Amino acid sequence: MNRSHHLCLLILLAVVAGCGGGVRSDVPADDFTLRTLPSDASAIHFAINPGIRNPNSYFEFTTSETEFLKWARQQPNVQQAVKTHFIVYRYAGYPGDADDRGSLVVEDGYLFEWYDPSDGDHGEHIAYDKATGRAYYWSHTF
């Protein structure tokens, strides 16, 4: 293969497999621009991971239960699910990497979700773990 074929193959692999995006920890609330957060949000971590068709966005932060519920109920699209025990997906280097930050089980919390009715692969998920005071957001949208 010549050099241009190698470059085309690398680009194709990046598009198919996705490329690792930005991952940041302990972002000051004033520097977080992905979405407005509750006024008491702290210890903000996030990852943006480009995918085949659309990016995955993950972020998490510490907040009070009251502020979380007020914030979550103001988010577009999502509806509160009738679940208190569930798995959440978290920020990490890239989904699927061997990373203990990739997911966790919430034993007692709140879950708000939305799935695109025309494409179940697209949606938003907002969760809160009452035991830790951590809020989690995952999105795979247009």
| Res 68 pLDDT > 70 | yes
| Least confident segment among 10-14, 56-60, 78-82, 123-127 | 10-14
**Residue 60 covered by a domain:** yes
Nearest CA to 42 out of 61, 24, 60, 25 is that of: 61
Q: What is the reported pLDDT for 22?
A: 73
Question: Rounded to two decimals, what is the model's pTM?
Answer: 0.74
Q: Which residue has the tokens 């907040």?
A: 63
Domain hosting 42: range is 19-140
**Residue 6 covered by a domain:** no
CB-side exposure of 87: number of CA atoms within 13 Å?
Answer: 4
**Residue 121 covered by a domain:** yes
pLDDT average, residue stretch 45-62: 76
**Residue 116 covered by a domain:** yes
- What is the Cα–Cα distance from 133 to 62, expressed in whole angstroms? 6
Q: What is the reported pLDDT for 21?
A: 55
Asked whether 46 and 58 are in contact (CB, 8 A), the reply is yes
Q: What is the reported pLDDT for 110?
A: 97
- What is the Cα–Cα distance from 10 to 141, expressed in whole angstroms? 25
Query: What is the total count of domains within the chain?
Result: 1
pLDDT digits (tens, 9 = 90+) for 3-40: 443 333 333 333 333 344 577 777 888 887 777 899 99
